[in-house]
Amino acid sequence: MSKVKARLLIVDDDADILLAAKMFLRQHIEIVHTEKNPANIPDLLKNDSYDVILLDMNFSRDATSGKEGFHWLNTILELDPAATVIFITGYGDIELAVQGIKEGATNFVLKPWDNKKLLATIEASLRIREGKVELESLRSTQKIMIADQDQAYSNLIGTSPAMKKVMSIAMKVAKTDANILILGENGTGKEVVARAIHRASQRSDKVFINVDLGAITESLFESELFGYKKGAFTDAKEDRAGRFEAANKGTIFLDEIGNLSPNLQSKMLNVLQSRKVVRLGSFKEIPIDVRLISATNMPVYQMVSESKFRQDLLYRINTVEIALPPLRDRQEDIEPLVEYYLDVYCKKYKIAKKRVTSGTFNRLKKHSWPGNIRELQHAVERAVILSETNVLEPQDFFMEESGGKKNDDFSPDNMNLEEVEKILVRKVIDKHGGNISRAAKELGLTRASLYRRIEKHGI
């Protein structure tokens, strides 16, 4: 019979109990340590880790009160909050043992014990320990993932008056729980601002849930945002929390909220007003406590006047409004943005640090940047990868077209932004041979967002 791969510590001042327990348990448990003096527990835990600890409730100097047992239980849990402790107690101390479970013990065994029951109790406690370790691992992983993701959106970069104003408003409102609406063209950094607000808020140690409403179909809206019960629909194999529940106590960022249909706007408004969600297939209301940040590139005020966006929903989401300027209106920020992305991508691709000439910066500032910061970011990444020198010239940023014309020249002064967007979308789709996924990635859009632009421009 194979032994369970676990480390067990038994603490009791009765040498006969220690011997009997060790002789039996080492037949089933891989490592069994015993200790007669509880004062040695701190040193044992500092130098080793145990999956289960069997701890006597009463030692010789305090044979009946159980106080020593509680003292050492607290000591163990201070040193290892995930410790799994089983009290060893006499029949007359069952009430104390139950109190011990309330204090943090996992279970108790009675002296004299039945070997089968003792082993079953230890095995059950090992499963509890595994659950604790797994949960702690998930929490640690979540913290690392959140930190890594925040690092990718870590900087509000800009010295222009427009960006200084944005930063000032963002930091003022961050400390409150006011609903925020961020307005701006695609690629202006709406998510960056939302994450900066979250990091500066009182919810910074909680989750930040990003929801791209433009990528969620109407049929999946409720199940994705509000969750569902097992059996609510064909593929609902288990209960699942929605995005609002997942964001509880943290921040939920509703990107592209202007794309919601009137029907979905009504459902969203109901949740935001009541601060409760009801999972599909259930009638139970679940309270939610979230910080709401929304964003859109749509002209929502015009949409309200055209009855395409609910006025009451707009009032609900924009207690404070932040308008992000397009990159063409903050040219003085191009240089620090390029320097930032140069550093990011040179490190990412393990390339010697590259620099940009003043002439190149002047050329970059003349470009209209219809894709805003996202377009600039991709341009810098391409330049870092493709350039064979450490000094980046204008041609490193703009690809030659078939006629020898530069991409930055395709937008003459008499073109409006709509025409520029149409040309840019068509060129990138052509570049990737009609592959929508690759084109969307280069443009910094979701597939759904790119399809909407294709339909909008008749491409």
Q: What is the pLDDT of residues 245-275, one digit of tens each?
A: 999 999 999 999 999 999 999 999 999 999 9
Domain count, the chain: 3
Residues 170 and 281 in one domain: yes
Mean pLDDT on 79-90: 86
Q: Are 183 and 321 in contact (CB under 8 A)?
A: yes
Residues 443 and 337 in one domain: yes
Residues 24 and 73 in one domain: yes
Please give the Cα distance from 77 to 46 (Å, whole number).
12
Please give the angle made by the CA atoms of 8, 13 and 14, to the nearest 5 degrees. Answer: 95
CATH number, domain of 407, equals 1.10.8.60
Give domain status of residue 141, yes or no: no
| The amino acid at 192 | V
Q: What is the pLDDT of residues 293-304, one digit of tens each?
A: 999 999 999 999
pLDDT score recorded for residue 442: 86
Residues 317 and 336 in one domain: no
Specify the range with the lowest mean pLDDT, choosing from 183-192, 270-279, 440-449: 440-449
Domain boundary among 303, 323, 343: 323
**Is the whole-model pTM more than 0.75?**
no
pLDDT above 70 as % of the chain: 89
Residues 128 and 161 in one domain: no
Please give the Cα distance from 402 to 431 (Å, whole number).
11
Q: Are 231 and 280 in contact (CB under 8 A)?
A: no
Specify the range with the lowest mean pLDDT, choosing from 338-347, 365-374, 389-398: 389-398
Q: Dump the DSSP string for 40-74.
A: GHHHHHHH---SEEEEES-BTTBTTT-HHHHHHHH
Q: Which domain holds residue 200?
A: 153-323
Residues 313 and 336 in one domain: no
Give domain status of residue 263, yes or no: yes
pLDDT score recorded for residue 200: 93
CATH number, domain of 274, equals 3.40.50.300
Per-residue pLDDT band for 410 (boundaries 50, 70, 90) equals: very low
Give domain status of residue 145, yes or no: no
Residues 188 and 215 in one domain: yes
Domain boundary among 135, 168, 185: 135
> What are the strands of the beta sheet with 85-90, ordered from one edge?
29-35, 4-11, 52-56, 85-90, 107-111
Q: Is the pLDDT of residue 375 over 80?
A: yes
Q: Is the pLDDT of residue 286 over 80?
A: yes
pLDDT score recorded for residue 415: 52
Mean pLDDT of the chain, nearest integer: 86
Mean pLDDT on 178-185: 97
Q: Which residue has the higher pLDDT, 422 or 108?
A: 108
pLDDT score recorded for residue 407: 47
Show the tokens assigned to 201: 């808020």
| The amino acid at 10 | I
Give domain status of residue 147, yes or no: no
Per-residue pLDDT band for 400 (boundaries 50, 70, 90) equals: very low
Please give the angle made by the CA atoms of 170, 172 and 175, to the nearest 5 degrees. Answer: 100
Residues 248 and 261 in one domain: yes
